Structure 1
Amino acid sequence: MIANQSAEPPIEPRWLTVEMVLAIHDEQLALLGGPEGVRDLGLLESGLARPVNRHHYNPETTIFELAAAYGFGIVKNHPFIDGNKRTGLLALHGFLFLNGWRFDPDQVEEVQMILGLAAGDIEEDELARWVEGNSREA
């Protein structure tokens, strides 16, 4: 969990930046191919603001819920011409890593989850539970 149980304020997570996510996107396109480009920078910024807003409105939100919010925000907002699912998934991984967690799911299940998210078959809360079940402190 991000928040502690004491009277002290909750710990602020290390957030992803637009620049970080653009670098993730560029790298995965270089590795796996696809048309380059941002379709709508505002949609990317909105997707990246989703977990930040969740945390500020509810500091008890878990690190896994915040990671899922990154994945959901990028995949569902579709800010890139191509590579939205890949970028959303890698952003989820990167956020957990930045905050001291290792996310190590089964690769087949990982593909199924991200495709299900994109298709609307997986909800954000289900994604968060799956992320939690496949994460451990680094």
Structure 2
Amino acid sequence: MTEPIWLSVDLVVAIHGEQLREFGGPAGLRDPGMLESALARPRNKWSFGEEDLAVLAAAYAFGVARNHPFVDGNKRAALLSLITFLGLNGIDFEAPNSEAVVMIQGLASGEIDEEGLARWIRDNWPVEAKTTVATKAKPKAAKRGSKRAMKTAKKLSPSAPKKRR
């Protein structure tokens, strides 16, 4: 099985910065070690034989949402990490915004566990997609997923006014 394309610290920090520019909130990485820990979670699962992309994506979201590495925007960063990881690995993930908000808020509060999030991801999986690592990434899927994720992230944002450009 081909190893997935993983998220880097720099990529997640950039994703976080993008959503802060779009929706507002204080910037800052509260704890770099907690971000590194969150991003190591799916790699650890992979090293022990986990190949299900839904499980690996859920591990990213769980780690970011629960480790709370950023000053603000952790739930938004968790959702964007999940969708970006899937997109980088050829999955054009799309779920109803209202469900995504409920799932990520539930994950952050402890009402939804990592396994429950992985089930939800699979329930919203594109019909044509494989559940294990894709052999060829589709960058367009990552870009489309990221745009949708940004719209959903807005719903996870506190009522901060949108910045004018």
Common topology (TM > 0.5): yes
Once residues 128 and 77 of structure 1 are traced to their aligned partners in structure 2, the CA distance between those partners, rounded to angstroms, is: 18
Deviation at 1:79, TM superposition (A): 0.1
Once residues 121 and 114 of structure 1 are traced to their aligned partners in structure 2, the CA distance between those partners, rounded to angstroms, is: 10
Q: Which of 18, 22, 31 matches 1:27?
A: 18
Q: Which of 81, 97, 120 matches 1:130?
A: 120
1:119 aligns to 2:109 (yes or no):
yes
Compute the RMSD of aligned alpha carbons: 0.9
Residue in structure 1 matched with residue 82 of structure 2 by the alignment: 92
Once residues 104 and 97 of structure 1 are traced to their aligned partners in structure 2, the CA distance between those partners, rounded to angstroms, is: 10
Q: State the identity as a percent.
A: 54
Deviation at 1:61, TM superposition (A): 3.2
Within a 5 Å distance, the mapping from 1:46-61 to structure 2 comes to 46-58=37-49, 60-61=50-51
How many positions carry a matched residue from both structures?
Answer: 128
Once residues 48 and 81 of structure 1 are traced to their aligned partners in structure 2, the CA distance between those partners, rounded to angstroms, is: 17
Once residues 34 and 76 of structure 1 are traced to their aligned partners in structure 2, the CA distance between those partners, rounded to angstroms, is: 19
Counterpart secondary structure, 1:101: coil
In structure 2, the gaps of 5 or more residues are: 130-140, 142-165
Once residues 108 and 12 of structure 1 are traced to their aligned partners in structure 2, the CA distance between those partners, rounded to angstroms, is: 32
Once residues 26 and 119 of structure 1 are traced to their aligned partners in structure 2, the CA distance between those partners, rounded to angstroms, is: 23
What do the CA deviations read for 1:18-61 (whole angstroms, capped 9, x no partner)? 01000000000000000000000000000000000000012x43
Residue in structure 2 matched with residue 6 of structure 1 by the alignment: none
Counterpart secondary structure, 1:20: helix
Once residues 50 and 102 of structure 1 are traced to their aligned partners in structure 2, the CA distance between those partners, rounded to angstroms, is: 22
In structure 1, the gaps of 5 or more residues are: 1-9
1:41 aligns to 2:32 (yes or no):
yes
Residue in structure 1 matched with residue 98 of structure 2 by the alignment: 108
Question: What amino acid is aligned across from residue 102 of structure 1 in structure 2?
Answer: D
Once residues 82 and 95 of structure 2 are traced to their aligned partners in structure 1, the CA distance between those partners, rounded to angstroms, is: 12
Which stretches of structure 1, 4 residues or longer, exceed 2 Å deviation after superposition?
none
Question: So what's the TM-score if we normalise by structure 2?
Answer: 0.76
Once residues 81 and 115 of structure 2 are traced to their aligned partners in structure 1, the CA distance between those partners, rounded to angstroms, is: 17
